[in-house]
Protein backbone atom coordinates (compact mmCIF):
# COMPACT_ATOMS: atom_id res chain seq x y z
CA UNK A 1 0.00 0.00 0.00
CA UNK A 2 1.28 3.52 -0.83
CA UNK A 3 2.13 5.42 2.32
CA UNK A 4 1.71 9.18 1.79
CA UNK A 5 2.93 10.21 5.25
CA UNK A 6 5.54 8.50 7.35
CA UNK A 7 8.14 9.28 10.00
CA UNK A 8 11.34 10.45 8.29
CA UNK A 9 14.18 7.93 8.46
CA UNK A 10 16.48 10.47 10.10
CA UNK A 11 13.96 11.29 12.85
CA UNK A 12 14.09 8.98 15.86
CA UNK A 13 10.80 7.40 16.84
CA UNK A 14 10.40 8.89 20.33
CA UNK A 15 8.07 11.47 21.92
CA UNK A 16 9.22 15.09 21.91
CA UNK A 17 9.80 16.76 25.28
CA UNK A 18 8.63 20.14 23.99
CA UNK A 19 5.63 21.95 25.50
CA UNK A 20 2.23 21.44 23.87
CA UNK A 21 1.93 23.67 20.79
CA UNK A 22 5.68 24.31 20.52
CA UNK A 23 6.88 24.51 16.93
CA UNK A 24 10.30 22.95 17.53
CA UNK A 25 8.89 19.51 16.80
CA UNK A 26 7.53 20.62 13.40
CA UNK A 27 10.87 22.23 12.55
CA UNK A 28 12.72 19.04 13.54
CA UNK A 29 10.49 17.01 11.31
CA UNK A 30 11.00 19.33 8.33
CA UNK A 31 14.78 19.22 8.74
CA UNK A 32 14.64 15.42 8.79
CA UNK A 33 12.40 15.25 5.72
CA UNK A 34 14.90 17.43 3.86
CA UNK A 35 17.83 15.28 5.02
CA UNK A 36 16.02 12.16 3.78
CA UNK A 37 15.10 13.71 0.44
CA UNK A 38 18.67 14.88 -0.16
CA UNK A 39 20.01 11.47 0.88
CA UNK A 40 22.53 13.01 3.29
CA UNK A 41 21.73 11.24 6.59
CA UNK A 42 25.15 9.56 6.74
CA UNK A 43 27.08 12.75 6.11
CA UNK A 44 25.04 15.31 8.05
CA UNK A 45 26.47 16.96 11.14
CA UNK A 46 24.21 19.15 13.25
CA UNK A 47 25.51 21.71 15.70
CA UNK A 48 22.98 21.95 18.52
CA UNK A 49 22.88 25.04 20.66
CA UNK A 50 21.82 26.01 24.16
CA UNK A 51 18.10 26.50 24.54
CA UNK A 52 15.00 24.33 24.40
CA UNK A 53 16.44 22.46 21.41
CA UNK A 54 19.66 21.50 23.20
CA UNK A 55 18.37 17.91 23.24
CA UNK A 56 18.42 17.79 19.45
CA UNK A 57 20.45 14.58 19.68
CA UNK A 58 17.45 12.86 21.28
CA UNK A 59 15.52 13.25 18.06
CA UNK A 60 17.70 13.53 14.96
CA UNK A 61 19.37 10.30 13.91
CA UNK A 62 22.54 11.93 12.60
CA UNK A 63 25.84 13.05 14.12
CA UNK A 64 25.35 15.97 16.50
CA UNK A 65 27.77 18.21 18.38
CA UNK A 66 26.64 20.48 21.20
CA UNK A 67 28.12 23.99 21.04
CA UNK A 68 28.39 26.43 23.94
CA UNK A 69 25.76 29.16 23.98
CA UNK A 70 25.93 31.24 20.82
CA UNK A 71 28.92 29.46 19.34
CA UNK A 72 26.98 27.39 16.81
CA UNK A 73 28.29 29.01 13.65
CA UNK A 74 31.87 29.06 14.99
CA UNK A 75 31.67 25.33 15.76
CA UNK A 76 30.08 24.68 12.37
CA UNK A 77 32.85 26.63 10.65
CA UNK A 78 35.51 24.47 12.29
CA UNK A 79 33.68 21.24 11.48
CA UNK A 80 33.08 22.17 7.85
CA UNK A 81 36.64 23.36 7.25
CA UNK A 82 38.01 20.16 8.78
CA UNK A 83 35.53 17.93 6.94
CA UNK A 84 34.30 19.69 3.79
CA UNK A 85 32.65 16.44 2.68
CA UNK A 86 30.07 16.77 5.50
CA UNK A 87 26.83 18.73 5.35
CA UNK A 88 27.05 20.88 8.47
CA UNK A 89 24.17 22.85 9.90
CA UNK A 90 23.32 24.71 13.09
CA UNK A 91 19.96 24.66 14.81
CA UNK A 92 19.71 27.68 17.11
CA UNK A 93 17.18 29.89 18.84
CA UNK A 94 16.91 33.64 18.34
CA UNK A 95 18.71 34.30 21.62
CA UNK A 96 21.53 31.96 20.70
CA UNK A 97 21.93 33.13 17.08
CA UNK A 98 21.07 36.82 17.28
CA UNK A 99 22.10 37.83 20.81
CA UNK A 100 25.00 36.09 22.51
CA UNK A 101 26.07 34.46 19.25
CA UNK A 102 25.50 37.34 16.86
CA UNK A 103 29.19 37.99 16.30
CA UNK A 104 29.91 34.36 15.36
CA UNK A 105 26.77 34.11 13.26
CA UNK A 106 27.33 37.38 11.40
CA UNK A 107 30.99 36.74 10.65
CA UNK A 108 30.38 33.16 9.49
CA UNK A 109 27.83 34.58 7.05
CA UNK A 110 30.18 37.42 6.09
CA UNK A 111 32.94 34.90 5.32
CA UNK A 112 30.51 32.90 3.23
CA UNK A 113 31.13 29.71 5.19
CA UNK A 114 29.59 26.78 3.35
CA UNK A 115 27.29 25.90 6.22
CA UNK A 116 23.56 26.09 6.86
CA UNK A 117 22.01 27.90 9.84
CA UNK A 118 18.47 27.48 11.07
CA UNK A 119 17.26 30.08 13.56
CA UNK A 120 14.06 29.44 15.47
CA UNK A 121 12.64 32.88 16.25
CA UNK A 122 10.03 32.77 19.01
CA UNK A 123 10.95 36.29 20.21
CA UNK A 124 11.95 35.08 23.65
CA UNK A 125 14.44 33.07 25.69
CA UNK A 126 12.30 29.94 26.08
CA UNK A 127 14.38 27.52 28.13
CA UNK A 128 15.41 29.97 30.85
CA UNK A 129 11.94 31.26 31.62
CA UNK A 130 10.80 33.73 28.98
CA UNK A 131 13.22 36.62 29.24
CA UNK A 132 13.33 39.23 26.44
CA UNK A 133 15.68 38.56 23.56
CA UNK A 134 16.74 41.04 20.87
CA UNK A 135 13.84 39.81 18.69
CA UNK A 136 11.23 40.53 21.38
CA UNK A 137 8.80 42.90 19.68
CA UNK A 138 7.78 46.36 20.93
CA UNK A 139 5.14 46.10 23.65
CA UNK A 140 5.72 42.37 24.23
CA UNK A 141 5.51 41.35 27.87
CA UNK A 142 8.27 39.05 29.05
CA UNK A 143 9.67 38.18 32.46
CA UNK A 144 12.30 40.93 32.02
CA UNK A 145 9.93 43.42 30.37
CA UNK A 146 6.78 42.94 32.49
CA UNK A 147 5.35 46.29 31.37
CA UNK A 148 5.97 45.46 27.70
CA UNK A 149 9.21 46.00 25.76
CA UNK A 150 9.98 49.68 25.25
CA UNK A 151 12.09 49.93 22.06
CA UNK A 152 13.37 53.35 23.12
CA UNK A 153 15.07 51.66 26.05
CA UNK A 154 15.75 48.11 24.75
CA UNK A 155 16.08 48.71 21.01
CA UNK A 156 14.13 47.40 18.04
CA UNK A 157 14.00 43.76 16.93
CA UNK A 158 16.60 42.93 14.27
CA UNK A 159 15.43 41.57 10.92
CA UNK A 160 18.10 38.92 10.67
CA UNK A 161 17.04 37.30 7.38
CA UNK A 162 17.05 40.66 5.55
CA UNK A 163 20.29 41.71 7.23
CA UNK A 164 22.16 38.56 6.21
CA UNK A 165 20.78 38.68 2.66
CA UNK A 166 22.86 41.80 2.07
CA UNK A 167 26.12 39.96 2.68
CA UNK A 168 28.05 38.73 -0.34
CA UNK A 169 28.85 35.40 1.32
CA UNK A 170 25.21 34.52 1.85
CA UNK A 171 23.71 32.33 -0.87
CA UNK A 172 20.25 31.82 0.56
CA UNK A 173 18.28 33.73 3.18
CA UNK A 174 14.59 33.44 3.99
CA UNK A 175 12.04 33.90 6.75
CA UNK A 176 9.23 31.39 7.10
CA UNK A 177 6.59 30.48 9.68
CA UNK A 178 4.95 27.29 10.90
CA UNK A 179 1.43 28.45 11.75
CA UNK A 180 -0.47 26.83 8.85
CA UNK A 181 -0.06 23.82 6.53
CA UNK A 182 0.75 26.11 3.57
CA UNK A 183 3.41 27.90 5.58
CA UNK A 184 4.89 24.57 6.69
CA UNK A 185 5.27 23.50 3.05
CA UNK A 186 6.98 26.81 2.25
CA UNK A 187 9.23 26.40 5.29
CA UNK A 188 10.38 22.99 4.11
CA UNK A 189 11.23 24.40 0.68
CA UNK A 190 13.31 27.14 2.30
CA UNK A 191 15.14 24.65 4.54
CA UNK A 192 15.92 22.52 1.49
CA UNK A 193 17.32 25.52 -0.39
CA UNK A 194 19.42 26.51 2.62
CA UNK A 195 20.96 23.03 2.52
CA UNK A 196 21.39 23.18 -1.27
CA UNK A 197 23.23 26.50 -0.94
CA UNK A 198 25.85 24.60 1.03
CA UNK A 199 25.79 21.37 -0.98
CA UNK A 200 26.21 23.30 -4.25
CA UNK A 201 29.14 25.23 -2.76
CA UNK A 202 27.37 28.57 -3.17
CA UNK A 203 27.83 29.94 0.35
CA UNK A 204 26.05 30.42 3.63
CA UNK A 205 22.44 29.20 3.78
CA UNK A 206 20.06 30.71 6.33
CA UNK A 207 16.45 30.20 7.37
CA UNK A 208 14.69 32.12 10.13
CA UNK A 209 11.61 30.27 11.34
CA UNK A 210 8.91 32.21 13.20
CA UNK A 211 7.74 29.75 15.85
CA UNK A 212 5.30 29.63 18.71
CA UNK A 213 6.30 29.45 22.38
CA UNK A 214 2.83 29.17 23.96
CA UNK A 215 4.17 28.57 27.48
CA UNK A 216 6.22 31.74 27.70
CA UNK A 217 3.76 33.74 25.63
CA UNK A 218 1.19 32.64 28.22
CA UNK A 219 -1.44 31.62 25.72
CA UNK A 220 -2.95 28.40 24.45
CA UNK A 221 -1.45 26.75 21.35
CA UNK A 222 -4.29 27.88 19.04
CA UNK A 223 -4.00 31.52 20.12
CA UNK A 224 -0.25 31.21 19.67
CA UNK A 225 -0.80 30.50 15.97
CA UNK A 226 -2.54 33.90 15.71
CA UNK A 227 0.36 35.47 17.56
CA UNK A 228 2.78 34.06 14.98
CA UNK A 229 0.59 35.72 12.32
CA UNK A 230 0.89 39.01 14.22
CA UNK A 231 4.66 38.61 14.22
CA UNK A 232 4.70 38.47 10.42
CA UNK A 233 3.73 42.19 10.45
CA UNK A 234 7.06 42.95 12.10
CA UNK A 235 9.04 40.09 10.56
CA UNK A 236 7.73 39.79 6.97
CA UNK A 237 7.92 36.35 5.44
CA UNK A 238 9.84 35.87 2.22
CA UNK A 239 12.93 34.73 0.41
CA UNK A 240 15.39 37.61 0.48
CA UNK A 241 18.23 35.97 -1.41
CA UNK A 242 18.28 32.82 -3.48
CA UNK A 243 21.44 31.96 -5.41
CA UNK A 244 20.19 28.36 -5.55
CA UNK A 245 17.39 29.34 -7.96
CA UNK A 246 19.69 31.68 -9.89
CA UNK A 247 22.16 28.82 -10.39
CA UNK A 248 19.39 26.49 -11.58
CA UNK A 249 18.35 29.04 -14.24
CA UNK A 250 21.89 29.58 -15.51
CA UNK A 251 22.95 25.89 -15.52
Q: Which stretch binds ligand SF4 (CB under 6 A): 33-41, 94-102, 120-128, 188-196?
A: 120-128
Contacts of 206 (CB under 8 A, 6+ apart): 109, 116, 117, 118, 119, 160, 161, 164, 170, 172, 173, 174, 194
Q: From the CB of 61, what's the least distance to ligand SF4, in Å?
A: 21
Q: Does 118 bind ligand SF4 (CB under 6 A)?
A: no
Q: Which of 64, 62, 58, 125 is nearest to 90 (CA)?
A: 64
Q: Near ligand SF4 by CB under 6 A, which window of 73-81, 119-127, 141-149, 194-202? A: 119-127
Residues 194-213 that bind ligand SF4 (CB under 6 A): 213
Q: How far is the CB of 243 from ligand SF4 (least distance, A)?
A: 31
Residue 90's DSSP bridge partners are 47, 117
- Note whether 176 and 206 are within 8 A (CB): no
Among 8, 10, 11, 18, binds ligand SF4 (CB under 6 A): 18
Which one of residues 56, 176, 215, 225 is an interface residue with ligand SF4 (CB under 6 A)? 215
Alpha helices by DSSP H, the chain: 24-38, 56-59, 72-82, 94-95, 102-110, 151-154, 160-165, 181-199, 214-217, 221-234, 243-250
If one asks whether residue 28 binds ligand SF4 (CB under 6 A), the answer comes out as no
Largest alpha-carbon pair distance within the chain? 60
**24 near ligand SF4, judged by CB under 6 A:** yes
Which C-beta is closer to ligand SF4: that of 19 or that of 40?
19
Contacts with ligand SF4 by CB under 6 A lie at 18-19, 22, 24, 52, 122, 126-127, 213-216
Amino acid sequence: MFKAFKVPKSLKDRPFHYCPGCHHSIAHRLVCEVIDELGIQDKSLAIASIGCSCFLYFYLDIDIVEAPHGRGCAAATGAKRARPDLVVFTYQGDGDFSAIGFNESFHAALRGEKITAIMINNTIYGMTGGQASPTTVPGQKTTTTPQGKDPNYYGYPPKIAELLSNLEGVAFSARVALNSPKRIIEAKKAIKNAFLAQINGLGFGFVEILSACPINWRMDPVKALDQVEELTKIFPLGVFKNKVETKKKTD
